[in-house]
Structure 1
């Protein structure tokens, strides 16, 4: 009992020491605040899948009721108010980068549509603006087709479609890419800071020489490691909860049907694994620059291949199997199920177990590496 109380006492006070060290590191404090505020907001507002205020011009050679309907449909927020230009101004407008899209409506367009001749419209696209060019082309095609279909139905009957497809968008009815972007940014930032803060804390001990002070104290490598895990885990948990409630829900208006408490428990469990990875990396790297380079090699695959940005089903079978051995993949599945779909513990408990098992394995590996490193330093 005395040994257990001593372990808890040492772990608690070592964790408090980590808080004081973090408060003195202005770079890390700025990184934490930036990643859970500005970065989350920027990711939500700059998703390439969404079209917002794209520049468009229209060359209306028909001057008909149908062409006016099409022009009136190309309005904010997807587009800015269309500018009317002449046919001779198309090349100048595109060369100068004044407009991303220029729609040319030919003469006699309405007459040919009503006669069933299927006339062609020309859409000029500035493909250097890649994010808007691809998405905007689909938007314009859909808008033009809808307006033509509605216009034609007023003058002649059209054949009924044999099958009518009724779409229902679950969990994000407006297909707002910003909702997905904000939550994904929070998930990725939890991974990044969960690894970097603990690894940096261990590197900081070595660079400042305080690791030698710990070696002469009656503390074990297990207590040193556990203190860094719980203290940095609390920091990331508080920052991510703040970001979810104030930035995602409050500022961005993201609708999160899931339980914030359940997501917090999942985050706390995942941070146990992420912090263990960070400590293992901290024992391998000799200084902070080495740790930064190593973090790039570890974080990029964890974030890109975890299923947060690209569905796992789109990846090769070997990559899917390999990523199933990392806690990040299972945490992404947990977070999406809880926050997007409102899943309860009765649905996600198997994933909780997987994160705990993998986290325990990484903790044991990091503990073994830390003991070996401290043993070499003592000898």
Structure 2
């Protein structure tokens, strides 16, 4: 009995039948399908709408020891959208207590004789105490606070010198003309939504092929498949094809059912290119799932191994920390993370509208990693069951 090549008529028929088998087995797993649908809809919606790295309405209290017009004017500058006034405190002890309780994020401390020293042209310091338990938001609060105080000090100096009445500050003025590209409104929902979509794609690219393999091992059907005319590749590849089709469908639901209509994600580039690159990425990451399946003995172990593989990929992808800011020994690891290249491609296509002329290196790197990882998984599978 001849086996036939993969792209021969018998080989393609076997591929179709095996792919249908994998899809039927997946759709019969109700719990996994519910988790899958939630991840590509509800989870992405929550990430896009509920997670923000911008400073919005940070509660700020005022410790005013001057009780002057100038101190009240300065305190009134801390307004939405960045800050939200949260009353005043009587002394430093109460200020620390409100910071400890999380009642406020910052306290503006205006010293005595603030207005008097301003009018005399003397140097005067204003303290901004900031809760930096969340380092990102704490840094933003201190930066915005410094800008507000600096602008107020400049206006006070100009007014004291009588420059305001003369029509403005004399001498050359440097203005910063900032142009924000690709996300002009700095909408966190776009970044967080795409980031969560890529995370979910990565999760199921590892989990679904591994779960399918371990399910075969638990039921004892993998040995039955090995005595058929099918090769190891013809057993493993349909699993990857089936899971790729399902993940592409989930990605389409996320883009056209959640991010597009609910958050107005622009999707500026070619969606055909995006889905082709997503398919390549699923193939690349599925190899890791097949490797995990050769180690795991049951579905519980598959879940644990998926987390072990997923977390380093996320942290080394550059989504949260630029690769240039990582320690030198971690940068090399980041360059072998397939998610790093998928991240560049996805943001480039969806937000920047770039094409393959700029993404070819990321695609080439993903393809190379995919061949190596899938070959390693197939080799280990052959040794284990061959």
Question: TM-score, structure 2 length as denominator?
Answer: 0.85
1:141 aligned onto 2:146: yes
Which range is displaced more, 156-165 or 28-37?
Answer: 156-165
Which range is displaced more, 232-241 or 257-266?
Answer: 257-266
The aligned residue for residue 278 of structure 1 is 289
Task: Write out per-residue CA displacement over residues 247-286 of structure 1, whole angstroms, 9 at most, x where no aligned residue.
Answer: 3333334444333322111101111111122112212222
The aligned residue for residue 40 of structure 2 is 36
Asked whether the 8 Å contact 1:196–1:278 carries over to 2, the reply is yes
The aligned residue for residue 237 of structure 1 is 248
Q: Map residues 1-379 of structure 1 onto 2, 5 A cutoff.
A: 3=4, 4-45=8-49, 47=51, 49-87=53-91, 89-128=94-133, 130=135, 132-156=137-161, 157=163, 158=169, 160=171, 163-375=174-386
Q: Residue 36 and residue 143 in structure 1: after superposition, are their counterparts in 2 closer, same or farther (change >3 A)?
A: farther
Asked whether the 8 Å contact 2:3–2:229 carries over to 1, the reply is no
Structure 1 position 122, deviation (Å): 2.4
Q: Residue 65 and residue 234 in structure 1: after superposition, are their counterparts in 2 closer, same or farther (change >3 A)?
A: farther
Write the distance in 1 (CA, Å) between the matches of 2:81 and 2:34. Answer: 34
Which range is displaced more, 222-231 or 129-138?
Answer: 129-138
4+ long deviations beyond 6 Å? none
SS class of match (1:80) = strand
Q: Residue 260 and residue 147 in structure 1: after superposition, are their counterparts in 2 closer, same or farther (change >3 A)?
A: farther
Write the distance in 1 (CA, Å) between the matches of 2:187 and 2:223. Answer: 53
Q: Give the unaligned 5+ runs of structure 2.
A: 164-168
Write the distance in 2 (CA, Å) between the matches of 1:66 and 1:36. Answer: 53
Write the distance in 2 (CA, Å) between the matches of 1:130 and 1:317. Answer: 23
SS class of match (1:14) = helix
Structure 1 position 161, deviation (Å): 5.8
Asked whether the 8 Å contact 1:49–1:135 carries over to 2, the reply is no
Aligned alpha-carbon RMSD (Å): 2.9
Q: Give the unaligned 5+ runs of structure 1.
A: none
Write the distance in 2 (CA, Å) between the matches of 1:56 and 1:227. Answer: 58
Structure 1 position 107, deviation (Å): 4.1
Structure 1 position 57, deviation (Å): 1.5
Which range is displaced more, 44-53 or 327-336?
Answer: 44-53
Asked whether the 8 Å contact 2:26–2:33 carries over to 1, the reply is yes
Write the distance in 2 (CA, Å) between the matches of 1:247 and 1:81. Answer: 35
Alignment length, in residue pairs?
375
Structure 1 position 136, deviation (Å): 1.7
Q: Residue 92 and residue 184 in structure 1: after superposition, are their counterparts in 2 closer, same or farther (change >3 A)?
A: closer
Asked whether the 8 Å contact 2:40–2:254 carries over to 1, the reply is yes
SS class of match (1:102) = strand
Asked whether the 8 Å contact 1:66–1:148 carries over to 2, the reply is no
Write the distance in 2 (CA, Å) between the matches of 1:322 and 1:91. Answer: 42
Asked whether the 8 Å contact 2:316–2:337 carries over to 1, the reply is no
Q: Residue 261 and residue 295 in structure 1: after superposition, are their counterparts in 2 closer, same or farther (change >3 A)?
A: same
Question: TM-score, structure 1 length as denominator?
Answer: 0.86
